[in-house]
Amino acid sequence: MLKIKNLHASVEDKSILKGINLEIKPGEVHAIMGPNGSGKSTLASVIAGKEDYEVTDGDIFFEGQDINELAAEERAHKGIFLSFQYPVEIPGVSVTNFMKTAINETRKAKGLEDMPAKDMLKLIREKAELLEIDRKFLSRSLNEGFSGGEKKRNEIFQMAMLEPKLAILDETDSGLDIDALRIVANGVNKLKSKDNAVLVITHYQRLLDYIVPDFVHVLYKGRIVKSGTKELAHELEEKGYDWIKEEVNA
Amino acid sequence: MDLKEKLISSFWAFENHQNEDAYLHKIRTEAIKSFEDKGFPTKKEEAWKYTSLNSILKNDYSVFPKQENTIEYNDVKKYFIHDIDTYKIVFIDGKYASHLSQTTHDGMDICLMSSALSKPKYRILVENYFNKIAKNDSLTSLNTAFSSEGAYIHIPKNKMVAKPIQILHFSTGNESAIMLQPRNLIVVDENSHVQIIERHQSLTDNGVLTNSVTEVFINKRAIVDYYKVQNDSLNASLIDNSYINQKQESICSVHTFSFGGKLTRNNLNFFQQGERINSTLKGVTIIGDKQHVDHNTLVHHKEPNCESHQDYKGVFGENSTGVFNGKIIVDKEAQKTNAFQSNKNILISDKATINTKPQLEIFADDVKCSHGCTIGQLDESALFYLRSRGIPEKEAKALLMYAFSNNVLSSVKIPEIKQRINKIIANKLGVNIGFDL
């Protein structure tokens, strides 16, 4: 589904990703862990198509197509979704109107008619229930005044609405209490199928107790320096990142 | 002959054709002298520092256009709020168009300024209200000198006017350039409520200069909601001089939607004469090309326990320029005044300009006054957020600009106006967004 080859990316001439190789197949859950500043969020943003980052070398293929030249919205239309570490507050646009626009624009891009209002309402209700989101919440301005937990739940609600093929969860666990974490993880797990894939980006192992990865990769200084299974995550939790740094620097 | 000379000589021709009316003759002749002394405002005057009239005064305007009411309702229907029942006072090239209008004298007067100025039964009101709060600056004086037609609205006390009143001015372009000087007088007596929509619309690309004056008198506990829709063609300019006089416990809101025109100057003046008055001034400006929109507001708090709220949002693209000059005066007697002013702007082009200047003159010591102005760009991280959800760049920008101006729209009380403004905004931004913008 996603194939990243020798990816180099920089922002304002500062090189951040220095040769990433990663392959994610349908049905898989991958986790990327790593110390602060290792390039985790950059990788997420580059896959999603943020223009601030310049890909200086390498390729990103999604379902066999080179997506490097595609705009963020075109990648979204293909089924790539990024759950933001810091969801942006947009006063004046309600959650509902935002989702309607996003879904209908995606349908438009696929040559489909707008979703009938009735179906849209039903879908919104269904997915809000999955994330235990109150209906009043949906008429509020997008992310404005939301608590950390509400913001993250809202991200996964959007994911549930858009049903992406590849969901990238960027530090979705940060700022969540244990109840919110459970709700969010539960939502992600319910959306999982053999046809879609999840890339979890996290500093800590605790989210991975709920969203269990098939593969764990350690990102350090812009490279994947170690890959393994979920046991690697436990090892990192116990021992921290120092031993990895030592291995790499040695 | 330049425009000033032409106007002055036209004045005397015009004045000689009026009926012998010593009262109005005196007002008009004093007004033309005031205009003659002052001339058109120049950039040397503080209030006109950022708005030059030079380019629009060069046209050879016809001052008394010929009357050719050739317009049919279907040709101009789209400029009306037509999905609800309304009173309509419609003018074509400055002349009353009865076939497009719906006026009334049934328990209230929603009719013409020309009637009010000429018929004896209106004389007391005219003497009490006409030209009483309009300033004697040059442009207002010029209008006063030529004042003959416009809307005259008198709502007696305890009356809820069930239908909004639309005041529409069309210009046909029958002449290469025309100058229009509509004069409106609106008197709302105690406890009454009225909603008014005003629009100036040129039907061709020929030049139009409208120098409009509106006086609004709002008596005790009366409520007035005024909506100004400015979405004119690129050769049409508007100078709107509005004077609003409020008595105690009255509530007035003016929403100004500025999307079009070559040059638009809104001189909006509020005078609070009584306690517990509420005044709201809101505006959304979205312009591009070489358009220019200038909001020049004044709120004069004269008595205690009153409020004023100003909220102006502007989005400026291409080579457009904007001005916001907001003055609040709080007299020494006006204790416990709450006065708020906000002017926020987004520049979406490197060549667009906005000049914003709050002016507070506060002589009372127990007041709450705040003002703020911001100038920024569209938030790139918000743009990426929207695009990452599949909303294309153009639509995402439109959504952000819509969101930016949304709180100004939220206080619009007539849903059809809100829908209309949303449509104009969507058209202006060239998008068709999946929900009712």
Q: Which amino acid is located at A180 in the chain?
A: A
Q: Got the DSSP string for B35-75? A: HHHH-S--TTSGGGTT---HHHHSS--BSSPPP-----HHH
How far is A99 from chain B, CA to nearest CA, in Å? 9
Mean pLDDT over each residue of chain A, to the nearest integer: 93
Instruction: Give how far B407 is from chain A: nearest CA, Å.
Output: 7
| Contacts with A48 from chain B: Cβ below 8 Å | 388
Q: Which residue has the tokens 């709220």?
A: B309
Q: Are B403 and B383 in contact (CB under 8 A)?
A: no
Give the pLDDT means over successive 10-residue stretches in chain B (437 positions).
91 76 91 96 94 92 78 90 94 93 96 94 95 95 95 97 96 90 98 97 93 98 97 94 98 96 97 97 95 98 97 95 97 97 94 95 95 92 96 91 84 90 81 55
Q: What is the pLDDT of residue B69?
A: 64
Q: How far is CA B218 from the centre of its chain?
A: 17
Please, what sign has the CA dihedral across residues A67, A73, A74, A76? positive
Q: For chain A, what is the largest distance between any 2 Cα atoms, rounded to a whole number of angstroms? A: 61
What's the pLDDT at A101?
92
User: In the numeric block, which tokens belong to residue B165?
Assistant: 């009143």
Given a contact cutoff of 8 angstroms between Cβ atoms, the answer to whether B156 and B258 are in contact is no
Residues whose CB is less than 8 angstroms from the CB of residue B420 and which lie 6 or more positions away in sequence, other chains included = B81, B229
pLDDT at B437: 41
Q: Is pLDDT larger for residue A168 or for residue B435?
A: A168
Say yes or no: B315 contacts chain A, CB-CB below 8 A: no
Residue B5 tokens, joined: 């000379």
Decide: A244 and A218 in contact? Cβ < 8 Å: yes
In this complex, do A87 and B385 lie within 8 Å of one another by their Cβ atoms? yes
Residue reference for tokens 């293909």: A78
Interface test with B, best of A52, A85, A98 (most B CBs within 10 A): A98
Instruction: Tell if the CB–CB gap between A90 and B382 is shorter than 8 Å.
Output: yes
Q: Which of B386, B393, B406, B433 to mutate to test the interface with A (most CBs of A within 10 A)?
A: B386
Distance from the Cα of A112 to chain B's closest Cα (Å) equals 13
| DSSP category for residue B288 | -
Strand partners, A60: A4
pTM check: above 0.90:
no
Measured distance CA(B382)–CA(B403) in Å, rounded: 11
Residues of chain A above pLDDT 90, percent: 80
**Contact between chains at B406 and A93 (C-beta distance less than 8 A):** yes
Cα B330 from Cα B188, distance rounded (Å): 25
Interface A–B counts its CB contacts (< 8 A) at: 85
Q: Which residues pair with A138 in a beta bridge?
A: none
Residues of A with CB under 8 A from a CB of B: 48-52, 71-73, 75-77, 81-82, 84, 87-88, 90-93, 97-98, 100-106, 109, 114, 141, 158, 162
Q: For A206-217, how does the pLDDT look when each residue is reduced to its tens digit (9 = 90+)?
A: 899 999 999 999
* Cα end-to-end distance, chain A, whole Å: 34
Contact across the interface for B390 and A48, Cβ inside 8 Å: no
When scoring A50, A53, A67, A101 by the number of chain B Cβ atoms within 10 A, the one with the most, hence best to mutate, is A101
Distance CA B324, CA B300 (A): 17
Cβ–Cβ contact B386 with A under 8 A: yes
Q: Burial-class residue B116 by CB neighbours within 10 Å (0-12, 13-18, 19+).
A: buried
Is the pLDDT assigned to residue A178 strictly greater than 80? yes
- Which among A47, A53, A105, A144 is the top mutation candidate for probing chain B, defined by the most B β-carbons within 10 Å of its own β-carbon? A105
Contact (CB, 8 A) for B309 and B280: yes
Q: Where do the structural domains in chain A lie, given as residue ranges? A: 2-249
Contact check, Cβ <8 Å, B382/A72: no
Largest CA distance in chain B: 72
Q: What is the ipTM of this complex?
A: 0.95
From the list A172, A199, A156, the residue with the least C-alpha distance to A28 is: A199
Give me the helices (H) in B273-414, please.
Answer: 380-387, 393-409
How far is CA B206 from each of CA A75, B61, B294, B360, rounded to the nearest angstrom? 47, 10, 22, 40
The stretch A62-87 carries a mean pLDDT of 96
B225 membership: H or E segment, kind and range: strand B223-230
Whether residue B387 contacts residue A47, with contact meaning beta carbons closer than 8 Å, is answered with: no
What number of other Cβ atoms are within 10 A of residue B66's Cβ? 11
Nearest-by-Cβ selection for B384 from A72, A81, A106: A72
Chain B residues inside the 8 Å CB shell of A71: 387, 392-393
- B393 and A90 within 8 Å at the Cβ level: the answer is no
pLDDT at A154 over 80: yes
> B380, B381, B384: best mutation site toward chain A, by most A Cβ within 10 Å?
B384
- The residue among B432 and A200 whose pLDDT is bigger is A200
User: Is pLDDT of A66 > 50?
Assistant: yes
DSSP B160: B
CB contact under 8 A, B382 and A114: no
Closest partner residue to A93 (CB to CB) among B384, B390, B399 is B399
**Nearest CB neighbour to B403, from listed A91, A114, A162:** A91
Neighbours of B374 (CB within 10 A): 10
Query: Structure tokens of B368?
Result: 């709450």
Q: Mind telling me how many Å the CA of A103 is from chain B's nearest CA? A: 8
- Could you tell me the CA-to-CA distances from B39 to A237, B54, B135, B180 in Å, in that order? 80, 12, 15, 17
Q: Are B306 and B277 in contact (CB under 8 A)?
A: yes
The superfamily (CATH) of domain A2-249 is P-loop containing nucleotide triphosphate hydrolases (3.40.50.300)
Using the beta-carbon criterion (under 8 Å), do A52 and B386 form an inter-chain contact?
A: no
Per-residue pLDDT averaged across A25-41, rounded?
94
Nearest CA in chain B to A84: B385
CB contact under 8 A, A51 and B384: yes
A41 chain-B contacts, CB cut-off 8 A: none
CB < 8 Å to B396, chain A: 73
Report the SS3 class of residue B371: strand
d(CA B186, CA B116): 11
| C-alpha span between A88 and A99 (Å, rounded) | 15
Which positions in chain A touch B406 (Cβ < 8 Å)? 91-93
Q: What are phi and psi of B75, to 5 degrees?
A: -70, -30
Q: Determine the 3-state secondary structure of A245 from DSSP.
A: helix
